[in-house]
Structure 1
Amino acid sequence: MIIKNDQLMKILNRTISFLVGALFIFSGLIKLNDPTGTEIKLHEYFEVFKSDPYLGNLGAFWEFLAPYSLWLAIILTVLEVVLGFNLLLHHRAKTTLRSLLALIVFFTFLTFYSWFFDKVKDCGCFGDAIPLTPFQSFMKDVILTVMIVWLLIQRHQITPMLSVRVGSVLSILATIGATVFGFYTVRHLPVKDFRAYKVGANLPANMKPKEKLKYGEELYIYKDLKEGKELKIKGTDYTKDWKKYSDTTQYKFVKLEKPLLNPEALPKITDFKVFSTDGTDFTTQVLQGTKMYIVIPDVYKIKNGQKVVVTEASAYVKIGALVKELRQNKIQPIVLTAAGAQDIEEFRHKVQLAVSYYFVDKKVLKTMIRANPGLMLLKDGTVKGKWHHNDTPKIEAVTQLLK
């Protein structure tokens, strides 16, 4: 059977449409599973942009966007899903492809910035599900850009799979479904937790390397002042030519490093440190026995020039009632927060939450659980349960998890 050129082109266009559409849907759903994580990443970009010598002159713009990071996260990820869905159906191909091109150009800028300037280590393209290096993320977006441009060129050859009316109805339903899913995971918790603090994870085990870390030969990093290049010199080569690099008019020593040969063996958790109000390290103690972590990254926010509690008081009424029952069942409740000592003292009296308070880095707390406040039940360092404050559990549900 002979396949004509126009048939081959049709198969090629459908294949590329499927790949692009499916990837956008997958990427969007992964991020809608955890919009708060995307919010954190966007906020990180805005903070970095403010200090950038080229983008910093738009400081007021980045300041304006920062409070709307969560809304932007939901809008962008819903767009990913809906546009990807439309492309699979070839629905309004011209408008869909132009919108996808605008979206991928934006994402390519972010991933290029992450890679080239090495300021944002992870773009969050696939959330915590599939971690990519900045360069991998950038190349992925470059390939997607080429594929979308190709489809735009071929747009007149792309025929809709359904009528415009049916396609529009399905597109609207996809928009509603993606939006509802995003807001659900914001008000509760991610449906699927991909982080090192997920239910079933043992935190002490995740704080240790999987195997002995192996390092390669030492590398001397020098900057060639005349060429403007960075040089990586092996230890054996440096020993032979050290006099050459002692010429400070041409070479500047940057650092000495030992490349890690098995980075996959690194601990999943490297920054979980818990301190008491007087600065004593309590990390080991809080991972022993049965504990209920009440995770509160922020206790106050500024609203209309006034300092107010971040979450409504009703949430702390439920948590306070649970705390009493936890103690009766020999489960120790503790608060982990990033707030300062003075704010904590005011806060504990305002919400009547009389438990022990410990300090943890805010970024770590936001990684542990996507809620403020959130609840984490641990037994000997193993996570038994996690709850958003909107889903504060009854004591029966807590004790059932410990059996």
Structure 2
Amino acid sequence: MKDKNLHIIQKILVNACRFLLAAAFIFSGFVKAIDPLGSQYKIQDYLTAFGMISWFPSFFPLLGGIVLSAIEFSIGIFLFFGVKKQLSSLFALLLMAVMTPLTLYLALFDPVSDCGCFGDAWVLTNWETFGKNVILLAAAILVFRRKALLCRFITEKMQWVVSLYTFLYVFALAFYCYYSLPLLDFRPYKIGQNILKGMTIPEGAKPSVYESIFILEKNGQKQEFTLENYPDSTWTFIDTKTSLKEKGYEPPIHDFSMISVTTGEDLTEDVLTDVGYTFLLVAHRIEEADDSNIDLINEIYDYSVEHKYKFYCLTSSPEEQIELWKDKTGAEYPFCQMDDIALKTMVRSNPGLMLIKNGTILNKWSDENIPDEYVLTDKLDKLDLGKQKPVSDARTIGYVFLWFIVPLLLVLSVDVLIVRRSDRRKAGLKKLGDSGPREEEKED
């Protein structure tokens, strides 16, 4: 009796750890899949921090992010349904065995500000991430050692269907969000947000204190300076960076600053307080931007000029690259320079298009979904395009969930009504066959 109770306790504990791992991997894989470019940027940050960015081809961060999201999501689904026990428990253990010491290094030396394991949906500090991974590693060890105790929800005959569909689903989701935009936007530039309000510090809140560090060169020697000890004009400016001196309240948007390439004027307030419409073409690196839909972009600029709307292209590229873009595409719209990270955060597309009015984001489009002349048939205030796009995260999550769960429910129904019934019938016939001879022997 005592051994039986111990076995029950072990089974409950192992399956509790299994569901904890499943939830973590499903969530982590899902938020990476719906934001593949965000995963790409985070992997690039890792490779840059460790000096390995030149070791891999340019497509590796994007492909690696999509593959990682597929692996994590699939491991979570396999653990949840209790299929592929050996494979899923082994991969869960291997991933946690790699990520736990890595996040300890991040916590100690802080080469990357956050690990990005849950994308922008849930940002943890490096120490919080390490603590989370220690718990998940302990759970993964227990599940791997006691995988025989995992409850199975799908028979072995049907588990291949679940496995195949899971892979197809997560890859389809990732590529859809890559070519359009993330289905769920967890960043401060989501539709409906007011940029100016997002930059405002609440009354009484203490702001963070930053210090500007200037890197200058003289006689082949580089040196860092602050405003207090800035040298004379015999030094040549090389670069600038900002360091945090004192942590305080940091508004969600703190790096939105539009500087005109032509005049050097700061246009931020002028654009964000304009009660009219403004199109913002976002190309974080103009030399890497896709120019396949440049005709549509030029048409929207012509449309803006015709109806007296503002239109700016925002980029972090230097002027020489901007001039090359103009020569290549015939662009006549004005350019503003902005922080590269801010541009990547605004629109997950290069280029992407954003429509704002009085500082509020009304709509965003990827390069593949830019509106054409068949939509822009009148002034924006007379078109649905000029109204704020209705966004419901709950409805989106519901659709995404149904697209995944409905086919799996069909598989479960087939598994329960056909496969398991067939297995029980075969087991019954086998039992009957085994008992037949014994009955005859008894009669003899």
Q: Which TM-score bucket, shorter chain as reference?
A: 0.7 to 0.9
Distance 1:209 1:311 in 2: 36
Distance 1:39 1:323 in 2: 30
Preserved CA contact (<8 Å) 2:201 2:207:
no
Give the corresponding residue for 1:207.
199
Q: Percent of counterpart pairs with the same letter?
A: 31
Deviation per CA, 1:84-127, whole angstroms, max 9, x where unpaired? 10011111211211111122233324422321111211111211
Distance 1:26 1:204, change over 3 A: same
Distance 1:256 1:293, change over 3 A: closer
Corresponding residue to 1:375 among 349, 353, 369: 353
What code does the residue aligned with 1:135 have?
Answer: W
Give the corresponding residue for 2:282.
295
Distance 1:67 1:113, change over 3 A: farther
Give 1:147 shift: 0.2
Give the corresponding residue for 2:333.
355
Preserved CA contact (<8 Å) 2:181 2:348:
yes
Deviation per CA, 1:299-338, whole angstroms, max 9, x where unpaired? 224xxxxxxxx3143x111111222223323321111011
What code does the residue aligned with 1:38 have?
Answer: S
Distance 1:274 1:215, change over 3 A: closer
Preserved CA contact (<8 Å) 2:192 2:362:
yes
SS of residue in 1 equivalent to 2:80: helix
Give the corresponding residue for 1:286.
271
What code does the residue aligned with 1:150 have?
Answer: L
Distance 2:36 2:101 in 1: 20
Distance 2:134 2:267 in 1: 46
Where do 5+ consecutive residues of structure 2 fail to align?
Answer: 209-242, 388-444
Distance 1:172 1:293, change over 3 A: same
Give the corresponding residue for 1:250.
none
Give the corresponding residue for 2:33.
32
Q: What is the 5 A alignment of 1:206-245?
A: 206-214=198-206
Preserved CA contact (<8 Å) 1:94 1:155:
yes
Distance 2:34 2:88 in 1: 23
What code does the residue aligned with 1:386 have?
Answer: K
Q: What is the 5 A alignment of 1:88-237?
A: 88-214=80-206
What code does the residue aligned with 2:251 have?
Answer: P
1:273 aligns with 2:251: no
Corresponding residue to 1:63 among 41, 55, 62: 55
Distance 1:153 1:200, change over 3 A: same
Deviation per CA, 1:6-64, whole angstroms, max 9, x where unpaired? 122222222211111122101111111111111101100100101xxxxxxxx4x7531
Corresponding residue to 2:296 among 285, 294, 318: 318
Distance 1:376 1:192 in 2: 16
What code does the residue aligned with 2:39 have?
Answer: T
Where do 5+ consecutive residues of structure 1 fail to align?
Answer: 51-58, 217-254, 302-309
Preserved CA contact (<8 Å) 1:108 1:141:
yes
Distance 1:325 1:259, change over 3 A: closer
Distance 2:161 2:246 in 1: 57
Give 1:161 shift: 2.7
Give the corresponding residue for 1:18.
19
- Stretch of structure 1 that moved more, 62-71 or 84-93: 62-71
Q: What is the 5 A alignment of 1:382-393?
A: 382-393=360-371
Distance 1:256 1:382 in 2: 29
| TM-score normalised by length of structure 1 | 0.80
Give 1:201 shift: 0.6
Q: What is the 5 A alignment of 1:303-314?
A: 310-313=289-292
Give the corresponding residue for 1:76.
68
Give the corresponding residue for 1:331.
309
Distance 1:129 1:259 in 2: 22
| TM-score normalised by length of structure 2 | 0.73
Deviation per CA, 1:232-288, whole angstroms, max 9, x where unpaired? xxxxxxxxxxxxxxxxxxxxxxx996564xx4xx31111111111243222212223
Distance 1:388 1:336 in 2: 15
Give 1:396 shift: 5.3
What code does the residue aligned with 2:266 have?
Answer: D
Give 1:401 shift: 4.2
What code does the residue aligned with 1:169 have?
Answer: V
Preserved CA contact (<8 Å) 1:292 1:334:
yes
Give the corresponding residue for 1:395.
376
What code does the residue aligned with 2:124 have?
Answer: L
SS of residue in 2 equivalent to 1:395: coil
Give the corresponding residue for 2:342.
364
Distance 1:256 1:208 in 2: 19
Preserved CA contact (<8 Å) 1:92 1:160:
no
SS of residue in 2 equivalent to 1:150: helix
Preserved CA contact (<8 Å) 1:43 1:66:
no
Deviation per CA, 1:189-220, whole angstroms, max 9, x where unpaired? 0001111111111111111113422489xxxx
SS of residue in 2 equivalent to 1:4: helix
Distance 1:11 1:372 in 2: 49
Give 1:160 shift: 3.0
1:42 aligns with 2:43: yes
Q: How many residues align?
A: 343
Deviation per CA, 1:120-145, whole angstroms, max 9, x where unpaired? 11111211111111111111111101
What code does the residue aligned with 2:113 have?
Answer: K
